[in-house]
Structure 1
């Protein structure tokens, strides 16, 4: 799952549904931008 790092509500929503952040890709939209956050969920 990939989402914009500055949208904290979206990251919190996915966190409540079992996703955990595993990395950040900085400067996707130019210098000074937050970048993207990568989240994952382990399926069992």
Structure 2
């Protein structure tokens, strides 16, 4: 599969560990997010 959706956050964490090392994952903000999400949506 090119795209996969996990059934829960816990499953996603476990599944990410099957394919990636911790140093291969990163978090980032896209510039467009400021234009498409308001503060309530961001949580």
Bigger RCO of structures 1 and 2 (CA < 8 A, at least 6 apart): 1
TM-score for both structures, normalised by structure 2: 0.29
Larger Rg: 2
More strand by share: 1
